[in-house]
Amino acid sequence: MLLHSLVYQRSVPCLLYMVIILWVSCTKPLPPGDPDNAGLFVPDGFEVVSIVDSTGKVRHLTVRDNGDIYVKMRMQDPEGENLALRDTDGDGKADVIQKWGDFEGEGTYGCGMRIYKDYLYFSTAGKVYRNKLTPGKLVPEGPAELILSDDYRSGEWGYSHIAKPLAFDNEGNMYVPFGAPSDVCRTTRRQAGALGKDPCPELERHSGVWRFDADQPNQIQDDGYRYATGIRSIVAMAWNPQSDALYALQHGRDNFDRSWPDLYTPWQSAMLPSEEFLKIEDGTNAGWPYYYYDQIQGKRILSPEYGGDGKMVAGGDTMTQPIFGFPGHWAPNDLLFYQGDQFPERYRHGAFIAFHGSTIRAPYSQSGYFVAFMPFAEGLPSGPWEVFADGFSFVDTIYNTSDAGYRPMGLAEGPDGSLYLSESEHGKIWRVMFKGDRESFGETQLLAMEARKQLPYIKTPHKELDNLDRNLIAAGEKMYNIHCGACHQRNGMGDGNRFPPLARSEWVTGDLRRLIDIVYNGVDEDEDLVVDGKRYNGIMPPNKHLEDETIAQILSFIRTNFGNKASTVREVDVRRFRRWQERQSRNTSEEEI
C-alpha cells in the first residue's frame, strides 16, 4: 500500500507536467501571417507565414510536438545534410537554424523525414537512419543508427527512382518503396517502338513497396517483406490512421508520343498516364510495366510495349485500380492525411498532396506546381479535389521546368494543426494557419481557389489552342517558304533530282544536332545525301546568318509536318550549337597561329 502511494505521488506530478506542456504547446497563439501570405494563394480565412526564405535544396520535412522543424536536404553539404529549425519568440519565423548529420554524400534524392515513437527517421538515396529525439534539444544527440541499406549502386540498374519516402503503421512496421529503374522495362531504352521485357526482371527487386521492422538496425532489402508490386515510382506516401492503411501516389511513365507516335498524339502524351492515387494493401499489384491507368477512359490499359493500342484492356481490369487518377506528369511528391482541428471540419482526415510539377509535358505548359486537397470518408475520396495552395510557380505558362520559381515538395502537420510546406528549388518553408470562422467556412471561401483550376499549369489543355508550338510552327511555315521552299518545295517533297524530300526523312526526324548542323553550315555538292535509297548532291548554302529563333522555327515546322512526327526545336538548342561552333572556330584559329 505504501509503495502504491509513493508511486502515485510521484507519477501524478509527472502526468500533470506533461499535460501542462501539451496544453501550452497546443494553445500557444498563432503568429501573424505575412501581409501577402508569403506569396501564396490559399482559401479565404487562411493565413501564411514564411518560416525561412532560403535554406538550399530541400525535400521532405516533419514537425515535432514542440514545433521544431526537421528537413531533409537534397544535396551533400559539408555543414550537414539535415536541417533543424526553431522559432524561439513565437513570431512564426525560424531564428535558430542548424545543419547536422554527415551521410557520406548520400543526400541526393533523399526524401524521408518522419517522427515515429520519439525517433526521427530520415532517408538518403540508399539508406534509412534514425536518431532518438532528446527532450529540450533541437539537434539529436549521438550518431545516427542505420536501419536499412539499399544496394542501388550495384548492378545494371543505376540510380533511377531511388527516393526513399517512409511510412509507419501502428504495429511497429516501416514501409519503404523501391522504384523501378526504367520507364517501362523495355528491351532497348529510349528507342522508339522498343518492346517490353516479359517477364520484366525489375519486378523482382524494384517497382514495389517493402515492409520492414522499424526497430531493427542494419537491415537490407532481403530482410523485408514485399508488400506490394507493379508500382513504378513512389515519392508521396503516408499511413492513413482512419482506414489503418497505406496510401501512395505513383509517378507514371513518360514519352508515349515519342515512343509510339502512331498510337499517341502529343496531347495524349501530355495527359497520360495518370498519376495514380493508390490504396496499398498486402498483395497489391498495380500492373506496371504491363499496364497503365488512363484517367480519361477510366480504365487500366495494356501498355503498347506489350501489344496495347491505347484502348485495349486485356487483363488490366484484374489489377489493383487507383482510388483516383490525376492527370499525367504532375509529379506527386508528398501526401498527408490531416488529423488536426485547427482547420475547418471539411479538411479533417482529408488528403493534402504536393505536386512538384512536370518536366515532360511539351508542347503544352508544364503542369502541377501546387498543393491539392481531396476530402476523404471511410478511406476513399468523398468529393472532387481542390487547389489548396498555389502561387509557387510565379508564371502561368511554364515552358520549361526552370521557369518555375518554386516547386512544392514536402508536407507536415504541426502540433496545433498548422500545415507546413517546403519547396525544393531554394528551400523556402511556409506555415499555413486558419484564422477565419470554422463554422461558416464553405463554398464561398473556395471560389477564388476553384477559379485557379483554369490556369495553364493546372487545367486540362485544349488540344490546339494551348499547344505552345502552334505559333512557333505557324511562324516556321512562313520562314520555310521564304528560305527553303524553292528547293525542297512547299509540300516538302523536294525536286526529285538535286534536292531531297523532307517528308518522312530520317535526316529531319533523327539526330537534332546533325539537322541543325546541316541548316547552319549548309551542304557542299560533294556531300551526297542519301534519302530513301536515292542520292542527292544539290548545294545548300549555309544559313548561319539567320537568327537562332528563325532556324528553330523552320526546323520545328519541318519536323512536325510533311508526315514527320518529331519534337520541335527550341531557340536555345540552336544557340547552344552556335556557341559550340564559335568555340571550335576559335580553337582552330589558335592552332593555325
Mean pLDDT, rounded, of the chain: 89
Domain membership of residue 481 (yes or no) is: yes
- 547 falls within a domain: yes
Distance CA 270, CA 260 (A): 13
3, pLDDT greater than 60: no
Which of residues 593 and 246 earns the better pLDDT score? 246
Q: Do 24 and 432 form a contact (C-beta atoms < 8 A)? A: no
Query: Mind listing the pLDDT tens digit for each residue in 258-299?
Result: 789 899 998 999 999 999 999 999 999 999 999 999 999 999
pLDDT score at 200: 96
Phi-psi domain of 55 (left: phi exceeds 0; alpha: psi -120 through 50; beta: other): alpha
Residue 581 φ/ψ, nearest 5 degrees: -60, -40
> Is there a domain that residue 519 lies in?
yes
φ, ψ for residue 13 (rounded to 5)? -60, -40
Average pLDDT over residues 555-566: 90
Residue 388 has pLDDT above 80, yes or no: yes
Asked if the peptide bond before residue 289 counts as cis, ω within 30 degrees of 0, the response is yes
Classify residue 168: in a domain, yes or no: no
pLDDT on residue 112: 92
Nearest to 560 by CA among 495, 476, 493, 484: 476
Mean pLDDT of all residues in 15-37: 67
Q: Mark 517-551 as b/e (b = at least 16 C-beta within 10 Å).
A: ebbbeebeeeeebebeeeebeeebeebeebebebb
Q: Return the ∠ at Cα 194 (arms to 191 and 196), rounded to 5°.
A: 130
For residue 323, with 0-12 CB atoms within 10 Å meaning exposed, 13-18 middle and 19 or more buried, which class applies?
middle
On whether residue 491 sits in a domain, the answer given is yes
- Please count the other Cβ atoms lying within 10 Å of the Cβ belonging to residue 91: 11
Domain encompassing residue 485: 470-592
Helix (H) or strand (E) holding 519: helix 512-521
Q: Are 212 and 150 in contact (CB under 8 A)?
A: no
The strand pair at 275-280 and 234-240 is best described as unpaired
What's the pLDDT at 159?
A: 57
Residue with cell 528549388: 425
CATH number of 566's domain: 1.10.760.10
Is residue 489 in some structural domain? yes
Structural contact between residues 168 and 145, judged by C-beta atoms closer than 8 angstroms: no
Is residue 546 in a domain?
Answer: yes
CA 558 – CA 561 distance, rounded (Å): 5
Question: How many domains, in total, are found in the chain?
Answer: 1
pTM of the model as a whole: 0.82
Backbone angles phi, psi at 20, to 5 degrees: -65, -45
Cα–Cα distance, 72 to 74 (Å, whole number)? 6
Q: What is the identity of the amino acid at 189?
A: R
Is the pLDDT confidence value at 100 over 50?
yes
The answer to whether residue 39 is domain-embedded is no
Model pLDDT for residues 486-539, shown as the tens digit of each residue: 788 888 888 776 788 998 888 899 888 999 999 999 887 666 678 888 888 777
Q: What is the pLDDT, as a whole number, of residue 525? A: 63
Distance CA 367, CA 357 (A): 5
